[in-house]
Amino acid sequence: MTKLPRSIADLHAAYAGGLTPAALMAALAARHDAIGDPGIYLHRPSEPAMASAIAALPPFDPTRFPLWGVPVAVKDNIDVAGMPTTAACPAHAYTPAESAPAVARLLAAGAIITGKTNLDQFATGLVGVRTPHPIPRNACAPDRVPGGSSSGSAVAVAQGLALLSLGTDTAGSGRVPAALNGLVGLKPSVGAIPSRGVVPACPSLDCISVFAGSVADAWACYGVMAGADDLDPWSRPIELGTPGAALTRLGIPRAQDLHLDGPEQRAAWEAALARLPAGVTLVERDLTPFLETARLLYEGAFVAERDAAFGALVPAEAMHPVTRRIIAGAARFSATDAFRGLHRLAELRLATRPAWDGIEALLVPTAPNFPTLAELEADPIGPNARLGTYTNFVNLLDLAAIAVPAPLRPDGLPFGVTLIGPRASDACLAATGATLMEGFAA
């Protein structure tokens, strides 16, 4: 069976050596069947549809078409023309006539869409189990959560069913699943990739994110999608630049701000710090205002933005029970509460500024915990809230981030760290993430 190459460069070399997109896609379909996980994809193109997509490819030219023949999975809250969009809510299903701009840019660069992936319904969750469909199985630990909300997208790449995938990341949905499946999760500066054509969760915060096996591949995908969209009210121009030298002064949580559940998570964090490249200086930082900001997202009136975005789209009884419970909670907040939340956020943005003095980026654990499915069955809310400890604040504070796999836990399960920096620091974070991965692999 043809195996999916490990990188875009390897794939293009294989194509140059005679591999055809048709042979690769047939092999990926066979691999999907062999894995036997019905929860990864919610829709896959028919054989005629896939053949048509392959036939539409331009002549092989990876310089002109940097994603030529690259299989890309797309989260099912992002529109792909001719494929149903459901956001994991069958009552919300529709088939768009045109693709989201981000997807259209991928297709123009030569990508092949392998299908639409499962998610926490309406992108509300970090666990990946809030779906009416079968739950995607974590690629490294089937008895544990796959991470969400971009669960299917992460598992598709981790299982070798796609080289890249698109997720969305409002509160960590593109970083947490990356960490729990041993992947890179690139969360761009807010507005850098158009969010038009995305079923909104929190429109002011939503980002399209990228899952990949390497920083280089994630950056290649990001570079294709980034750019202003005059029809998108949330689009914001950005100068991406090119990843260059890695950053060397990184802030890390103080001991009292380090929230890690159990000795396995703590040991993995300590192993990551011990294997940082030479020349990196670590500076402890007070993360109190960052962590308070994180709590605003679900514990305050900001949850009402989710109600405003999709609460009226479908009847309450059509929602997943946990999603319905979260959205129903928005009713307890008033307009006054919303403004109080905005005012508090402004105060916290000011309070976080001193933390950046003398450092170039923050380095934090991506997730403090790695819940089992049994733990989520017993408590659908608590472990999910814990997963967002170091992710929920990032978009609220207008920051960029990239999650990268770190040394495995002592029990062999994946662990990840995240680099966080100011808006438009994306290239510097990518360069640093790639350097960290080299050090971790040494």
The residue from 75, 151, 189, 195 that is catalytic is 75
- Residue 93: what are its φ and ψ, rounded to 5°? -60, 140
The residue among 198, 43, 76 whose CA lies nearest residue 148 is 76
Active site residue 173: yes
Cβ count within 10 A of residue 64: 11
Q: Which residues of 101-120 are buried (b: 16+ CB within 10 A; e: fewer)?
A: bbbbbbbebbbbbbbbbbbb
CB 213 within 8 A of CB 246: no
3-state helix/strand/coil string of 54-68: HHCCCCCCCCCCCCC
Active site residue 116: no
| CA 235 remoteness from chain centre | 18
> Among all chains, which residue has been given the structure tokens 């915060």?
205
Q: Tell me how far apart the alpha carbons of residues 154 and 335 are, in angstroms, rounded to a whole number.
A: 37
Q: Tell me how far apart the alpha carbons of residues 441 and 328 are, in angstroms, rounded to a whole number.
A: 45
Active site residue 75: yes
The residue from 150, 165, 173, 209 that is catalytic is 173
The residue from 99, 116, 149, 153 that is catalytic is 149
Strand order from edge to edge, sheet including 184-187: 41-43, 112-117, 71-75, 164-168, 208-212, 184-187, 399-405, 416-422, 361-365, 249-253, 281-285
- The tokens describing 59, both together, are 């002549």
Q: Pinpoint the alpha helices (H) of 226-372.
A: 262-274, 288-299, 303-306, 321-328, 335-352
CB 121 within 8 A of CB 320: yes
The residue among 232, 221, 146 whose CA lies nearest residue 191 is 232
| SS3 label, residue 53 | helix
> Among all chains, which residue has been given the structure tokens 């290239």?
427
| Cβ burial, residue 374 (10 Å; 0-12/13-18/19+) | exposed
Cβ-based neighbours of 232, under 8 Å, separated by 6 or more: 101, 194, 195, 196
Q: Tell me how far apart the alpha carbons of residues 347 and 38 are, in angstroms, rounded to a whole number.
A: 46
Q: Pinpoint the alpha helices (H) of 109-249.
A: 151-158, 176-180, 215-225
| CA 279 remoteness from chain centre | 29
What is the set of active-site residues? 75, 149, 173
